[in-house]
Chain A
Amino acid sequence: MTVMHYLRAFKGITGRELLRFVHQRERFISALVRPLMWLFIFAAGFRSTLGVAIIPPYETYILYEVYITPGLLGMVQLFNGMQSSLSMVYDREMGSMKTLLVSPLPRWYLLTCKLLAGVMVSVVQAYVFLLIAWLYGIEAPPMGYFTVLPALILSGLMLGALGLLLSSFIKQLENFAGVMNFVIFPMFFLSTALYPLWKIQESSVLLYRLSQYNPFTHAVELIRFALYEQFNLQACLITLGALAFFLAAAVIGYNPSKGMMQRRGGPN
């Protein structure tokens, strides 16, 4: 195995993912419409015109739509991670997964390539969303648009790895609805994406604890702080830890000899 082989595999996998992305314009648009609906409709109904109380990284009062924007960036990435998990299941059903996995390159490498390809797509989506939010009047500090990039990459990787892990569990495409119900929604609602933690704590300590341990909360906070040119060490470490855990579990999950595919029978 030479570096050339690794590069070729990387190019192949990312190329395929990008091609898919370019060809499925509807997917791109629908991925954008979802957070925009939250921004324009949900946030408008919830507007909290008299200002949201000050919590870091904000230094003054903000409108609800300003608060929700980093959360919606997280949402873009969460759904993107699940989308790539969906496409993994699809690949497996169609058999193209086999072509990938029979490659002599290490499995972790192949999965990481797949992950990176997904993250690239989600970062583009996130920036398009930020642009639309900016046109709507939600402005972050100019440098924030640069400082948010590493945060978006890291959170994208973490959520993509979660998607990979999930895809190793799902036997059939039809089961994906379960993922929506049991993973995406709880993750999204039990986080700081829509409301600050203190607000959740006011109504329920249990929900507050759950939100606190939700890696998505930390991904959102990482993005939120980065968008305001600040670094949240705790959120960063937890996101990194979650990424390592999900990726390792996914690599095991995709190992035919001990992984879930084997145990659950897998597609033939």
Chain B
Amino acid sequence: MKLPTLIACHLAMVLTTPAQAETIYVTLEKDNALAVVSGPEGKLEKTVKIGKRPRGIALSQDGQSLYVAVSDEDTIKIIDTDSLKVVGKLPSGEDPETFVVDPEGQLLFASNEDDNQVTVIDLKTQKKLKAIPVGVEPEGIAASPDGQWIVSTSETTNMAHWIDRKTLTIVDNTLVDPRPRACAFTDDSQQLWVSSEIAGTVSVLDTATRQPVGKISFKIPGVTQEKIQPVGIRIDPDRRYAYIALGPSNRVAVVDAKTYQVIEYWLVGQRVWNLAFSPDHKRLYTTNGVSNDISIIDLEARKVVKSVAVGQYPWGVAVKP
């Protein structure tokens, strides 16, 4: 190797590897497995079998374990991030798909679509604490970072149910557009964003009044409206931009989180459902269910850098620093 090349290589290594290394975990709904991808370059490291139909995924606060909703086994499995072995199971109730861990890391809330309830699990004792009845087909679930609210959205009732984190009871319901799929709080807990799959909209609710303060619609030239099905939502910590996964339109929309205007659309793989930020919020990872890959978006350069094949039906994604 010539000297300048050598220096360049070293420089590149110093500049890229240590600072940003991150691990991306992707649940593969059809492969019954978990794909482990090293970031930010996006190299599939390994795939491990974890159980039938894994979907929702979240990292524990200490980053030591992953919670994965293994839908067809009616449980949420706890997986050690180092050994990738199952170290525990949580009584999630039937067919868990999505869940959220509260900001204190004490309770886990899982939506049970078929039973119309939200199961509350104590993470310390790994026991079921309570089942909160909600609307028909609960799907989206979010916890406010200030620890005050848990919100569950029901796909058939078309409502966001506001659950008080302390009393574990519903205190309010907000009607939203048809088939609310996912919801997310802003980091300051002041707003809740809810995506409606059939309506093709995202509603922004004010946490204090629990009433809508804005609505976002999408229009992509050349793509029919039915294909625009908003699902996953990620809002950056400064609440400047929000990123919405638009399902079979194969796009992620970038929305100005202040004016609720769509800024642009990024083309990713087929049927993009869920999104996750890198720990430094410089990248966004998307799971593309039909094209069996994840796309890596550089948020500083504002473009899709790469799509990496991971396995069949990638569903959920979690990123560990």
Chain A residues proximal to chain B, CB less than 8 Å: 47, 49-51, 54, 59-63
Contact = CB atoms under 8 A, between A and B. Distances in A.
B222 A60 contact: no
Nearest to A44: B222
Given A59-B306, A60-B307, A49 B295 contact: no
B223 A60 contact: no
Contacts of A47: 222
Nearest to B42: A59
12 contacts: A47-B222, A49-B222, A50-B249, A51-B267, A51-B270, A60-B267, A60-B295, A60-B304, A60-B305, A61-B267, A61-B291, A62-B267
B286 to A, nearest CB: 11
Given A47-B222, A49-B221, A50-B223, A59 B305 contact: yes
Contact of B307 (A49, A50, A61, A63): A61
B268 interface: yes
A36 B164 CA distance: 60
B250 A51 contact: yes
A54 B267 contact: no
Contact of A49 (B223, B291, B304): B223
Interface string B268-293: 11100000000000000000000100
B306 A50 contact: no
Interface residues of B, number: 19
Q: Which one of A47, A54, A60, A62 has the greatest number of beta carbons of chain B within 10 Å?
A: A60
A245 B58 CA distance: 61
B9 interface: no
Given A60-B268, A61-B267, A62-B267, A50 B305 contact: no
B267 A63 contact: yes
B7 interface: no
Nearest to B269: A61
Contact of B306 (A49, A51, A60): A60
Nearest to A47: B222
Contacts of A54: 307
Nearest to A50: B250
A47 B222 CA distance: 8
Contacts of B250: 50-51, 61
A192 to B, nearest CB: 20
A51 B306 CA distance: 13
B220 interface: yes
B307 to A, nearest CB: 4
Nearest to B309: A54
Contacts of B295: 60-61
A50 B249 CA distance: 6
A50 B227 CA distance: 10
Given A47-B222, A50-B250, A59-B305, 12 more contacts: A49-B220, A49-B221, A49-B223, A50-B270, A51-B250, A54-B307, A60-B267, A60-B268, A60-B296, A60-B307, A61-B268, A61-B291
Nearest to B304: A60
A68 to B, nearest CB: 15
B307 A59 contact: yes
Nearest to B224: A49
A65 to B, nearest CB: 11
Contacts of B306: 59-60
A62 B269 CA distance: 10
Contacts of B269: 51, 61
A124 to B, nearest CB: 29
Interface in B245-266: 248-250
A54 B306 CA distance: 10
A59 B273 CA distance: 20
Nearest to A49: B222
Contacts of B304: 60-61
A62 B222 CA distance: 15
Across the A-B interface, the 4 shortest Cβ-Cβ residue pairs: A49-B222, A60-B307, A59-B306, A60-B304
A61 B307 CA distance: 7
A62 B306 CA distance: 11
A62 B305 CA distance: 11
Nearest to B268: A61
Contacts of A50: 223, 227, 248-250, 270
Nearest to B221: A49
Interface in B201-257: 220-223, 227, 248-250
Contacts of A60: 267-268, 295-296, 304-307
A14 B307 CA distance: 46
A49 B265 CA distance: 12
Contacts of B296: 60
Contacts of A63: 267
A138 to B, nearest CB: 12
A138 B222 CA distance: 17
